[in-house]
Each structure stands twice: as structure tokens, then as C-alpha cells.
Amino acid sequence: MTRIRAAVCTAFNAPLTIEDLDLRAPGPGEIEVTLEAVAICHSDISYADGAWGGDLPAVYGHEASGRISALGDGVKGLSEGQRVVVTLIRTCGACVNCNAGKPTLCENQGGRPSPLSRPDGTPVVQAMNCGAFAERVVVDQSQVVPLPETLPAEGVCLLACGVITGIGAVVNAGRLRAGEDVVVIGAGGVGLNAIQGARIAGARRIVAVDISEAKLDIAREFGATDAVLGTSGAPWKKALKALGKGADVVAVTVGAIPAYEQAMRYLGWGGRMVMVGMPHTGAMAQYEPVVPAYTGQHMIGSKMGDVVIRRDIPWMADLYLQGRLKLDELISGRWSLDRINEAVADTRTGGARRNVILFDT
């Protein structure tokens, strides 16, 4: 066992508690990673609020980077000292979805005992297969991708979730083609990356929709050609005016029901709505089904951008090194683990792009 410090959720809707936990050694096919950075995602906050249930105590955090510090038996293609990005995407490589090239939908991602426990032996949940609000993690070898030393640690961690989810939503799930038009609802961390993905893929026009003028200004910096304030009456009308027609792809990157109920109004004939943001369990949206049935529109769920991490993350890392993908600009603040509750509170305000916890390594 290795003794580590971690931010533990002991009760929903309560501050996280810094505790000393025991982390077991990596087993067959697993690796231990000593973390350098972990970003705070709104999904972590929603889990800690109890939005989707789950058992406690738990350690959240799933956008991480670090260096491999130990290898379990049978690990292939990885070595100690390598810098890696740590994702929540754990794959078995054997189920129908894995073999169909859909690893984000692996049928056997969970079900393993947590490597975390309190010194008295109390089990602690390793949330989202990561538990990365901690100094070290033990994860399956399928969850990591080695990346060049030339990438900063805090930039590497963003490639674990927010970047791949946003870019993958429009490129993989939305099947965006050059010259098509895109609307991105929500200009937070994931939304900004959906905008970047649309720009990289060659979209003609990209309309950002948000309830914050400040976020819309940032969206323009990331590639939005037009911006619409969501609090104005019938924002889809302004978006359609900017496009000159209905959008080919609409990416909903926030978990707000009004955003989902309005999203179809932005679409043109044969358009695709990509559902990215995660509303709380039990939240319901309503549609008039005759409209998509008649106009041939599609509603597409997208989990983690439908990525294949060993294919897509190196591609995105290379785009960053070429200066074509913004990562540094996504970081709003850098914090220590001891100040994680302050970082979470700052993220809750809605103004942050990504707050990052940095570890002394």
C-alpha cells in the first residue's frame, strides 16, 4: 500500500475533505500514475452534489495527467517515467462495442474493486474509474495515452475529457463536413472545444449561444463567427439569421433542459442535434416528433465525443503543438489540492473555463 493525500466526498452537497488514503499496488494490466495535474469538470461537481447518485465516500476527478510510477503484470507498450493523460474511458477490448470501434460504450467498464481505502480499511469509491483528486491513481492500462514531453502537464490533463468531448461531439458524433454550419449551445469548457472542433473541421459559420456576454466574447476567440445571447427572446431566430438557413449540426454542451428543448429549432433539413450536456437524473425534455420525422433531422447522443483515445488524443496533441488547438487559453486558474473547495466554488460560478489542481511532483 502507498499512502496518498486525496480530496474525499463524504456527503453530497458538502465540501470535500482532504484525507490520507491507502492506494494498493497495480494489479495485472494496471498502472500507477503519480499525478501532475487534474482539471475540475462540471461532471465532478454534479456527482459530488448527488445529481446521479452513487456510493460514498468517494474520490472524484477524471481529467488528469502525470507520470507512470509503477506497472502491473502484463502491461504492454508503457514504461515507468512516461508522461500520460489519464481518462475515465476503461475498455475491455472484447465486448461487442469495443470490437465495433466504440470504446466509449464498452459494456465492461466498471465492476472492479476500488484500489482506494482509508487507513482503517474502509473502502473508498474510485469514482469514474479514476479518483484523480488525489496524488496518485491506479488505473487500467487502456485508460492512458503517452504524450510528448513538450506538452505542459496542465494542458495534457485537459485532453482527458473536456477537449475530446467537445471536439469529438462535432467531428465524430456530428460527422461535420467542411462547409457546413454549426450552432454550439453553451460556451463553457466543453462548448469552447466544440467550437474549436468545428473550426478545425472547416465549418462555414459557427454560432455560439450562451447566457453570458463574457463567455460569448471568449467563444469568438476560439473560433465562433457569430454569437447569440440565450436570454434574448427566441435566440434561434437570431442564429438562423446569422446562418441564412438552419444549422447542419447543433451541439448542446450544457445539461439544461431549456437548452435541449430549444435545440431542434436551430436545425435545418436533415440537421443533426448532438446531445452532450448531462441533465440530472429524472429531468425530462419535450419535442414535437412530427418535425424531425418530416424534416429528416437526427438526435444523436454523444458520450466522451465518441473518441478512440489512442487515435484521437495524439492527433489533438499534435494540433496543439502546431498552434491550431488552444489548450493554455482554456485554463482559468491553477490551485493546490488543499484549495480544491475554493476551485470548485469558482467553477460553480460559471465563469471558469477549466480550473486545474497542480501537484508537487
CATH number, residue 280: 3.40.50.720
Q: For residue 100, give its domain range.
A: 2-159+327-358
Neighbours of 94 (CB within 10 A): 10
Per-residue pLDDT at 314: 95
Q: pLDDT at residue 361 above 60?
A: no
Residues 275 and 153 in one domain: no
Residues 148 and 19 in one domain: yes
Residues 117 and 37 in one domain: yes
- What confidence tens digit (pLDDT) does each residue in 285-333 have? 998 999 999 999 999 999 999 999 999 999 999 999 999 999 999 998 9
283 located within any domain: yes
User: Is there a contact between 357 and 33 (Cβ–Cβ < 8 Å)?
Assistant: no
Q: pLDDT at residue 151 above 70?
A: yes
Return the closest-CA partner of residue 247 out of 223, 226, 270, 231.
270
CATH number, residue 121: 3.90.180.10
321 located within any domain: no
Q: pLDDT at residue 143 above 90?
A: yes
For the chain, the average pLDDT equals 94
- Grid coordinates standing for 193? 472545444
Beta strand pairing call for 30-40 and 354-358 = antiparallel
Return the closest-CA partner of residue 86 out of 111, 66, 69, 115.
66
Residues 349 and 271 in one domain: no
Per-residue pLDDT at 27: 95
Residues 343 and 208 in one domain: no
**Distance, CA of 284 to CA of 266 (rounded, Å):** 20
- Grid coordinates standing for 314? 495524439
**Distance, CA of 38 to CA of 308 (rounded, Å):** 21
Q: How many domains does the chain have?
A: 2
What is the share, in percent, of the chain residues with pLDDT greater than 70? Answer: 99
3-state secondary structure 158-193: HCCCHHHHHHHHHHHHCCCCCCCCEEEECCCHHHHH
Residues 279 and 349 in one domain: no
312 located within any domain: no
This prediction's pTM: 0.92
344 located within any domain: yes
- Grid coordinates standing for 255? 445539461
What integer is the mean pLDDT of 89-99? 93
Residue 23 banded pLDDT, cuts 50, 70, 90: very high
96 located within any domain: yes
- What confidence tens digit (pLDDT) does each residue in 170-227 have? 999 999 999 999 999 999 989 999 999 999 999 999 999 999 999 999 999 999 999 9
Q: Report DSSP state, residue 23.
A: E
336 located within any domain: yes
Residues 10 and 122 in one domain: yes
**Distance, CA of 307 to CA of 278 (rounded, Å):** 17
Residues 171 and 155 in one domain: no
Residues 151 and 9 in one domain: yes
Residues 286 and 352 in one domain: no
Torsion sign (Cα): 233, 239, 241, 245: negative
Per-residue pLDDT at 203: 98
Per-residue pLDDT at 112: 82
Neighbours of 42 (CB within 10 A): 21
Q: pLDDT at residue 334 above 90?
A: yes
Task: Specify the residue for cell string 488528469.
Answer: 64
Residues 78 and 215 in one domain: no
40 located within any domain: yes
Residue 244 banded pLDDT, cuts 50, 70, 90: very high
**Distance, CA of 312 to CA of 193 (rounded, Å):** 14
Residues 270 and 343 in one domain: no
319 located within any domain: no
